């Protein structure tokens, strides 16, 4: 009997073994960082004063926990999870407010009594933005097709979550958005123009067509 090659053995492996080595380390980091987001949100909750921010925190916690479970399941089994990924919807969608208005200078808290919604929302935004970046970097390294899809589908949702926190901060002047003057902005906007027509690609004399 002819002995199977290692390559054939790899093709016949169980679904839960359908992972590359680099992928295993990346998924451990993703899942550990997701737990960190959840734990931090739980800690933040006791300091939140604004009901609107509390609603955002609870909504994002539930969404993150749901997708943590999906990711852990498909990572362990290598197969499609029992539930589908969901779409995150911003509940209070508003237009950004541009411009800078005077505020009190910022400084480190001197005690826990100084913890306010401005700081809590800033911590939330930092965590969600970092997690969106981590999901993006990891999803392009994953070899398992199911895990790749589950991770990739979360990226846009975490971007929406970050934008929701930004809008909350922006409405409350915690995150102000400066703009360039009209003349400078117009120059920047007109720096790039669309390409016209089809480019003339150079011939390739090296590739051999079989």
Alpha helices in the chain (DSSP H): 6-11, 21-45, 51-77, 117-139, 145-171, 182-189
State the pLDDT confidence band at 86, using cuts at 50, 70 and 90.
very high
Nearest-angstrom CA–CA distance, 124 and 206: 52
State the pLDDT confidence band at 10, using cuts at 50, 70 and 90.
very low
Each residue's pLDDT tens digit, 31-48: 999 999 999 999 999 999
State the pLDDT confidence band at 12, using cuts at 50, 70 and 90.
low
Nearest-angstrom CA–CA distance, 27 and 149: 13
CATH 1.20.1260.10, domain 16-100+115-178, yes or no: yes
What residue segments make up the domains of the chain, in order of their start? 16-100+115-178
Question: pTM above 0.85?
Answer: yes
């Amino acid at each position: 009997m002819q002995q199977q090659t290692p390559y054939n053995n790899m093709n016949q492996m169980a679904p839960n073994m359908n992972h590359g080595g680099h992928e295993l380390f990346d998924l451990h980091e993703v899942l550990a960082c997701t737990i960190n987001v959840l734990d931090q949100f739980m800690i933040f909750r006791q300091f939140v004063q604004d009901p609107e921010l509390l609603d955002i925190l609870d909504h994002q916690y539930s969404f993150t926990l749901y997708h943590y479970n999906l990711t852990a399941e498909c990572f362990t089994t290598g197969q499609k999870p029992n539930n589908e990924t969901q779409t995150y919807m911003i509940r209070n969608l508003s237009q950004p407010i541009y411009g800078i208005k005077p505020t009190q200078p910022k400084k480190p808290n001197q005690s826990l009594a100084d913890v306010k919604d401005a700081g809590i929302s800033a911590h939330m935004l930092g965590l969600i933005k970092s997690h969106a970046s981590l999901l993006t970097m990891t999803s392009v390294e994953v070899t398992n097709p199911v895990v790749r899809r589950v991770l990739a589908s979360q990226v846009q949702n975490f971007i929406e979550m970050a934008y929701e926190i930004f809008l909350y901060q922006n409405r409350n002047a915690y995150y102000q958005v400066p703009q360039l003057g009209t003349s400078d902005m117009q120059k920047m906007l007109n720096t790039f123009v669309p390409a016209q027509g089809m480019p003339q690609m150079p011939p390739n004399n090296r590739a051999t067509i079989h």
